[in-house]
Amino acid sequence: MATTQTSAQASTHRRAALVTGASRGIGRAIALRLAADGLDVAIGYAGSAARAEETVAAAREAGVNAIAVQGDVSQAPDVARLFDAAQQAFGRLDVVVNSAGIMPMAPVAPASLDAFDQIIATNLRGAFLVLGEAAARLDGGGRIVALSTSVIARSFPGYGPYIAAKAGVEGLVRVLANELRGRCITVNAVAPGPVATELFLDGKSDEQIAQLSKVAPLERLGTPADIAAAVSFLAGPDGAWVNAQVLRANGGFA
């Protein structure tokens, strides 16, 4: 269910954004950065209502309207409900960011098929549904941003299903940009390198984390704020001429 707004009526003059996977990690940072940029934000989340409400409260501190909407991006009715709630709350929708994703490790092997199907359902099918719904709903001047990964260029063992899904996302971004020809809507992806989030850190040893933090020439892990800044650029006025691109925000990781 969507939370109620702080004001009696939706803002009609501020731009508005929908961010999926926004209750934590990179998605939360993106939602809060867009709120700081002056956009009303709909916080899409799959599981933790409490975390989503915390993000809503933090976004409202920036002086914008914010709501939380639960939904599984792999399910078409849920995705449609996310968009319906955002448009009903704000009276418009200008920016859509698909940040929802999972990253379990699994080798390329028959025993990994269940993990593969799960990753493809959330990370690729979910992107297909969110990007497709955004294409149907946004007007001229709209911005669509998907989250990919810079791990594609590294081909680390155990990342096969995740890389396969994100490579598909990058393909969808380029095709959709061409399908939206003439509508003045940009479609891009941001591909983070290793970022210090729960999703990335889960299941990794201290040694692995230390090793990965040294791969990029800047010799640190990225932060959610680093990625949010790249999305802010693509969603803002300075990103208007960037289209059908993958922005690799990774400190030189790949």
What is the tens place of the pLDDT at every residue in 3-32?
Answer: 444 443 445 589 999 999 999 999 999 999
**Could you tell me the two tokens for 114?**
């269940």
Regarding beta strands 246-247 and 66-70, do their DSSP bridges make them parallel or antiparallel, or are they unpaired? unpaired
Query: Is 62 strand, coil or helix?
Result: coil
Annotated catalytic residue, options 45, 162, 200, 253 = 162
State the pLDDT at residue 2: 53
Cβ atoms 74, 121 nearer than 8 A: yes
Q: Longest C-alpha distance within the chain, in Å?
A: 54
Is 162 an annotated catalytic residue? yes
**Other residues' Cβ atoms within 10 Å of the Cβ of residue 139:** 11
For 8, list phi and psi in degrees, rounded to 5.
Answer: -70, -35
What is the rounded distance in angstroms from the CA atom of residue 189 to the CA atom of residue 170?
7
CB contact at 8 A, 137 and 42 = no
Tracing tokens 């009715």 back to the chain, one arrives at 77
Mention every residue, 6+ apart, whose C-beta is less than 8 A from residue 29: 223, 224, 225, 227, 228
Q: Report the pLDDT value the prediction gives residue 203, as an integer from 0 to 100.
A: 77
- Predicted pLDDT at 5: 44
Domains of the chain from N-terminus onward: 16-247 (3.40.50.720)
As beta bridge partners, residue 45 has: 70
Q: Nearest Cα to 50, choosing from 10, 118, 3?
A: 3
Question: Do residues 158 and 107 make contact, with C-beta atoms less than 8 angstroms apart?
Answer: yes
Q: Determine how many CB atoms are found less than 10 A away from the CB of residue 3.
A: 18
- What are the average pLDDT values for consecutive 10-residue runs of the chain, which has 254 residues? 44 87 97 98 96 98 98 98 98 98 95 98 98 98 98 95 98 98 98 89 86 92 97 98 98 92
pTM for the full model? Answer: 0.93
Radius of gyration of the chain (CA): 17
φ and ψ of 137, to 5 deg: -105, -30
Cα separation, 103 vs 83, in Å, equals: 25
